[in-house]
Amino acid sequence: MKELKTKFLNQILDLGYPESEIVLTLKDFFEGNDIQNSIGVNLFDRPSTQDFYNTFKKITEESKGEAFVRIADVEDPEEWFFSDAIHLVCDMTLEEVEAAMEPLQADIIEEAWSYGLPGNLDASYHDKKVFTIMWDSFQINNKLQLTK
């Protein structure tokens, strides 16, 4: 796991993190990742990391969509990256996404690139329908205060 983190960390830093928003594919973030503190840390009865992966994998397969995991911190947890949001590119309705996210207890779901278009995605994604699904109230409160 440490070798894989080092490989991705070098790519993430080369892409301009932390000044630029950077995402990993669903597969890159979740396959082999069993670190419970890598996503959804604010949840009381937290779904497993595998639950997050399986839910998004099922949604993207059924909707023929894509999911990208936002990198929020590269140092904590030490073993892997921390994410507070997943971007879901698909043709679902907000209501369908909300229903699909119910088991994952998302704090906020917005129909937008809530943190801006990630720097490592090409410009064609700018006009695609996207939902940003967010966890971690502390991060969200800071984001909302910054945008006011």
DSSP string, 20-75: S--EEEHHHHHTT---GGGB-TT-TTPPPHHHHHHHHHHHHHHHT-EEEEE--BSS
Residue 113 binned pLDDT confidence (cut-offs 50, 70, 90): very high
Percent of the chain, pLDDT > 90?
79
pLDDT number for residue 109: 97
pTM check: above 0.85: yes
Q: Which of 38-47, 81-90, 101-110, 117-126 has the lowest mean pLDDT?
A: 38-47
Residue 142 binned pLDDT confidence (cut-offs 50, 70, 90): low
For residue 21, the SS3 value is coil
Cis peptide before 18 (omega within 30 of 0): yes
